[in-house]
Structure 1
Amino acid sequence: MHGTRGNDPGGTTDPTDHHRLVREAAMLAGSRGSHRALERLVDDMSARLVGAERAPMLDAIVTVSTEGLRSCWTHGWQPEELTRHVERTTGADVAALLADLMVDELTGYPPASVHPDFFDQLTAVRATRWWPVEQHWLAARADAAGSWSVTVEQMVILVAVLHLAPRLTVLLPVPGSALPARAADHPHHVDAKTLRTVRQLLAKAESTTFPAEAETFTAAAQKLMARHSIDQAMLAAAAAAEHPGGGALGGADGPLSRRLWIDTPYVREKVALVAQVADANHARTVWQKELDVVTVMGHEADLDAVELLFTSLLVQATRAMQQEGKRVTAWGDSRTRSFRKSFLAAYAMRIGERLQEASRAETEQASDELARQGRGALVPVLAARDAAVQAYAEQEFPRVRTVSMGSTHDAEGWHRGRQAADRAALGAPPRRPVARR
C-alpha cells in the first residue's frame, strides 16, 4: 500500500524508488541543501527517463507534482496567483512547466466540476495544450529544452515550491468538487459591457498626458461603477424584503473576497493606496505581508470598483512619481527611495480623502433621488451592507492585527505626493438618477 505523510516533499512512506527520488530531490531543492547531492539525484532521474525505466519515472514526476498542485488548490491558490508565485520565486522557465501541469490536471476533470474562473485564468496566463496529442507534455518540454536534465531539475524545483506554498483563504471551489449554483451558472453582477467600457475609459485616462482629459475619462468610469453599486444595493434590499430570511454572509448577494497582488518596490505604500480606495468603496482589506498580497472583501460591484480604480490610480501615481526624477542630498547622496516612499504615502492618504468626499456627495445625491421617488432610504441599506462586509471579514480573518503604515521621512516627497493626488483623474461624483427596478 502506498501513501504519503502530509505535504512534506521528503516525508514519504511510498517504497517506490522513483517516487522516493522525486521527493528526496524536491526536499533538497526546497531546503536549499547540498547542490552536489541534488545534481546526483537529477542525473539519476534523467538517466532513467532515457532508459528502460522511462514510464515509471515519468509517472512518478507527474504524480508527485500533481499532488503538490492539488494541495495548492485545496489551500486556496488559483492559476493566476500560482503562476505569479512560481515565476517570482523561480523564474519563467519553471512557470512554463507549471502552465503545462495545470492544463493537464484541470482538463482531466469533468468541466462541470471546475469553476469557470480556473479556465479563464488559464487563458489569462496563456496556458494551453500546445504539445502533440501523441506525446506527453513533459517529454515535449524536454525535447524543446534539448535535455532531460534541465527539465527534470526545473520540475524538482516546481515540486518543492508547490509543496511549500503557504495557505491562502479559499475563494473558489476546489477543482473536482461540487459547484454551488452561483458558480456553475457563472453570472457576473457587473455585466461585461460595463466592465469593458470602464476599462477603456481608464486606459485612456492613464495614457493621456493632458490632466483635463484624464479627469473626464476617469470621471465617466467612476460614474458607471458608482451608479452600478447603488443600483445593486437597492435591488438586493428589495429582493431581501420580498424573500426575508434568505440572505447569508456568503450568499448570492453576500460579500465576497478578491486578492490583489502587489508588485515591488514600495509595497507598503501601495497597500496603503488599496486600503484607502477600499475604505471609500464599502470594502475591507487584509494584507498578508509575506506574500505581498491584499485580500479585499466587499460586494462584487464594489470589488470591481476597488480593483479598477486602484490599478488606474497606481499607474497615474507611478507616472507622476517618476516625472519628479531623482533626489540627492547636499553631499551628493541619493534620497530618491525615501522621497518616493513619502510621495506614494501622501498620495494614498490624499486620494482617500478625495474618495471619501466623493462618496459622501454621491450618497446624499442618491438618497435625495430615492426619497423623491418614494423608493425608500439609501443610508440604512448601505449601513446594512457595510455591517455584512465587516462580519464577513471577521469570519474570514478572525485573527488580524492593525499595522501602522509608517511615517514619512521626506517632507518634499510628502508635499509632492499630495499635489499629485490633487491632480489625479478621480472625477466628480455622479449626478445621474438612480435606476429604477
Structure 2
Amino acid sequence: MSTAPTPQTTVERALATALYARDSGARDRSVETALDTAASLLAADPGADAELARRGEEFVRRAWERGWQPADVVRIVRRDLGEPQLRIAAELIRTESRRYPEATLPARWAGQLAALGPDSVPPWQAPDRFSYATAALELYRLLLRLPAVEPVGPVPGESPATAAPRSVHEPKALTRIRALLAKAEATDYPEEAEALSAKAQELAARHSIDAAALDAGGEGRTVPGACRIGVEPPYETAKAILLDAVAEANRCRAVWNSAYDFSTVVGYAADLDAVELLYTSLLVQGTAAMTRAEASQRAGGRKRTKTFRQSFLMAYASRVGERLTAAAEAVSGAAPAGLLPVLATREVAVGARTDELFPRTTATRVRGVGDEAGWTEGRAAADAARVHPERRGVRGPGPGQGGG
C-alpha cells in the first residue's frame, strides 16, 4: 500500500525534474516539458507551498553567498524573465532578509530592499496554481545558475571587520546634493540645470575631502568599499562611459560587467554615495536632452534613428567627462596642502582594492560614432548639464572614429 507524498517529497521531485533539465541555449522542448511536469506536481499539492517558498529562500541565500545583492537579482530577473517571476523574487528577498538583525545587513541593502516596494499577498495564494508554480520554477532555475561575482560587501548576518561605520541618518551634504539634483532634473532651462548640477558636484567634492580629513584624524583608517550600479540597455556602452567619468571624478574606479548589466564602483563610502546620486541625475538629464534634441531634428524634417541616439549619448558622456576633469583639478588645487598626501593615499588604496577585486580586467575600444548631428547635439547637452572631477578608464571615440 503506497503512502501519500509529503510536501518535502513533492517539492524535491518537482525541483529535481525542473531545475536540472538540460537547456541547449534557446528554450527547447525538453525544458518546457520538465517545467510543465514539475509545475503539475506542485499545483496538485497545496500542502507543498510553504516548502516551495522555503526552498526559494535557500536559493536566494546562495545568491548572496556568491556575491549577488538584492538589486542585482531584481535586475537580472527583470531582464531574463518577467513580472510574475519578479514578484516572486521580491517576496523571497524580503522574507529571507528578515532573518537577520537590521544592523547585520550590508551597507546599501536598506535602500535596495525599500526599492522592492511594499509587501504583497504571497504569490502562491494566487488562484492559478499551475502558472505560479511554473513562474517559481523558472525563477529557481535562474537563481541556481547565477555564477559567482566579485563580492561588494559581506553576506547578510556576517559583520565586516574592516567596513567603515555608517550612520542610520543620511549626511546633510547628501541631502542637499539630492535636492539640488532633483531641481536640475525638473527644470526646463539648461543654464539652471547646469548651475544646480555644478553646485551639487561642489558639495560632493567638499563632502569627500571632509570625510578624508575626518578619517585621517581618527584612530583607525577606513578602507575602500564597493557598490554596483545598473548599466542597462539600450545604449549601455555610452552609459558605462558616463558612469566611469562620474566615478573617476569622485575618486572611485568603475569596472563594467556587460554580461550582467552593471558596473562595480570601488571607492570610499562618501564618494560611492556621490557617484550613485550624480550618475543617476546626469543620466536622467542626458536622456531628457536627447529626447528634446531628437524631436527638434524630426521637426526639421530629418529622420533620426538609433544611430542618432547612440551618438548623442556617447558625445554627452565624453563631454561630461571633460568637464568633470576640469572641475576635479580645481577642487584638488583648493584642498589644504596637508591633506594632499591623505587624498593620494586614498587614491592608491582604491586602485589596489580594484586590482584585488578584478585582477584580470580588459580595456576595450568602443565602436565609432556614426551620426555627426547626434554627436554635436550630445556635446551641447553635456555643456548644459554638468557635474565635476577627473576621468580615466573607458574612453569613447569622436565622430567618425572606428573601434576594434
Range class of TM-score, shorter chain: 0.7 to 0.9
Query: In structure 2, how many angstroms separate the alpha carbons of the residues matched to 1:199 and 1:386?
Result: 25
The offset of 1:285, in angstroms, is 1.1
User: What do residues 271-293 of structure 1 show as CA deviations (whole Å, max 9, x unaligned)?
Assistant: 01111122222211111010111
| Uncovered stretches (5+) of structure 1, i.e. residues with no partner | 1-14, 132-136, 248-252, 371-375, 430-437
Question: What residue in structure 1 maps to residue 232 of structure 2?
Answer: 263
Q: Does 2:349 correspond to 1:356?
A: no
- Give the TM-score, by structure 1 length: 0.78
Q: Cα distance 1:416–1:298, how it changes in 2: closer, same or farther (>3 A)?
A: same
| 1:388 match | 349
Query: How far is the alpha carbon of 1:309 from its aligned partner?
Result: 1.5
Distance 1:29 1:94 in 2: 21
Residues 97-154 of structure 1 deviation map (CA, whole Å, 9 limit, x = unaligned): 11221222222345554446434422221153x55xxxxx4xxx233x3121111111
Deviations 1:371-392 (A, max 9, x none): xxxxx43333222211111111
Q: Is residue 196 of structure 2 the alignment partner of residue 217 of structure 1?
A: yes
| Distance in 1 between residues matched to 2:279 and 2:108, nearest whole Å | 22
Name which one, 1 or 2, has greater alpha-carbon Rg. Answer: 1
Give 1:403 shift.
1.1
Distance 1:175 1:303, change over 3 A: closer
Give the drift of 1:30: 6.3
- From 55, 78, 100, the equivalent of 2:91 is 100
Query: Structure 1 pair 365/181, CA: closer, same or farther in 2 (3 Å)?
Result: closer
- 1:9 matched residue in structure 2: none
8 Å Cα contact 2:180-2:200 kept in structure 1: yes
Contact 1:22–1:61 at 8 Å: present in 2 too? no
- Where does residue 408 of structure 1 map in the other structure? 369
Q: Alpha-carbon deviations, 1:144-172, whole Å to 9, x = none?
A: x3121111111111111111123222222
Identity among equivalent positions (%) equals 37
Map of 2:267 onto structure 1: 298
Say which SS state the counterpart of residue 256 (structure 2) adopts. Answer: strand
Q: Relative to structure 2, which stretch is displaced further, 284-293 or 295-304?
A: 295-304
Give the match for residue 215 of structure 2. Answer: 236
- In 1, the alpha carbon distance for the partners of 2:389 and 2:365 equals 30
The question of whether the paired residues in 2 share the 8 Å contact of 1:233 and 1:382 is answered with: yes
Question: Do structure 1's residue 48 and structure 2's residue 45 form an aligned pair?
Answer: yes
What does residue 124 of structure 2 align with?
142
Q: Distance in 1 between matches of 2:170 and 2:371?
A: 44
Deviations 1:222-241 (A, max 9, x none): 222111111122232333xx
Partner of 2:180: 201
Contact 2:246 2:324 in 1 (8 A): yes
CA contact (8 A) 1:19 1:60 kept: no
Distance 1:119 1:427 in 2: 28
Change in Cα spacing, 1:191 to 1:37, as seen in structure 2 (3 Å) is closer
Partners of 2:108 and 2:246 in 1: CA distance: 25
Kindly indicate whether residue 171 of structure 2 is the aligned counterpart of residue 192 of structure 1: yes
Q: Quick one: distance in 2 between partners of 1:287 and 1:205?
A: 27
Work out the CA distance in 2 between the residues paired with 1:156 and 1:27.
11
How many positions carry a matched residue from both structures? 376
3-state SS of paired residue (2:264): strand
CA-CA distance at 1:334 after TM superposition: 5.5
CA distance in 2, matches of 1:427, 1:177: 36
| Conservation of the 8 A alpha-carbon contact between 1:278 and 1:284 | yes
Between 256-265 and 408-417, report the one with greater CA deviation.
Answer: 408-417
Local SS of the residue matching 1:286: strand
TM-score, length of structure 2 as denominator length: 0.84
Instruction: Please name the residue that 2:402 is paired with.
Output: none
**One-letter identity of the residue aligned with 2:172:** K
User: Which residue of the other structure, out of 373, 379, 386, is the alignment partner of 1:418?
Assistant: 379
Question: Which amino acid in the other structure matches residue 192 of structure 2?
Answer: E
Name the residue aligned to 1:399.
Answer: 360
